[in-house]
Amino acid sequence: KQATTVDPTIPAEATRFYNPNALDFGVRQDITHNLTLVAKMRLTDDLSGGLTVKYATGRPITPIVGAVPVANQNYYLPIEGRVGSERLPSFRQVDGQLSYLLPFGANHQIIFYLAINNLLNRANVLDYDYSIDYSQRQPRTTTFSRFIYFGATVTLNP
């Protein structure tokens, strides 16, 4: 037996089907895969490093397939394609970090760290922008490029 539930705030295509004897099936608007891998390694007694890899399938979008010019006006009305019939490109990002532990005094320590977000400097696609007549589509990408930061944490124990 299959039960159907519909949330009134989402389109009918986003209906979830539930079968207690089977797996829960995702909606068509799902990001179907979302994966984060974290690897940490002690390189020496005082030096550690790590990598974080993030991946997610692109979210579904409704493409603009054409446009109709509005009479006596300088704009067009878009014609949308099938709801959720395309997906944005997948999201991918690699981050890296290093930390160095420096003990001092009786029980004190300083941890120096260096991290790089978006190590590969990849611009992920957020959405698409269209020309005024909707005949051309350009990807709108993240403005977040490679970012390097560093610092130190001091621990003073009595």
pLDDT tens string 112-144? 999 999 999 999 999 999 999 999 999 999 888
Q: Provide the 8-state DSSP code for 12.
A: G
Segment 37-64 shows an average pLDDT of: 95
- Whether the pTM exceeds 0.85: the reply is no
| Cα 88 to Cα 42: distance, rounded to the nearest angstrom | 37
The CA distance from 119 to 51, in Å, is 10
pLDDT given for residue 47 in this prediction: 97
| DSSP 8-state symbol, 73 | S
Residue 42: what pLDDT? Answer: 96
CB atoms within 10 A of CB 148: 11
> Cα(128)–Cα(154) distance, rounded to whole angstroms?
45
The first and second tokens of residue 128, run together, are: 């698409």
Residue recorded with tokens 């959720």: 84
How many residues make up the chain in this entry? 158
Task: Find where tokens 């608007």 sit.
Answer: 29
Q: Is the pLDDT of residue 8 over 60?
A: no
Task: Please report, as a single letter, which amino acid is at residue 71.
Answer: A
- Separation of alpha carbons 110 and 101, rounded Å: 6
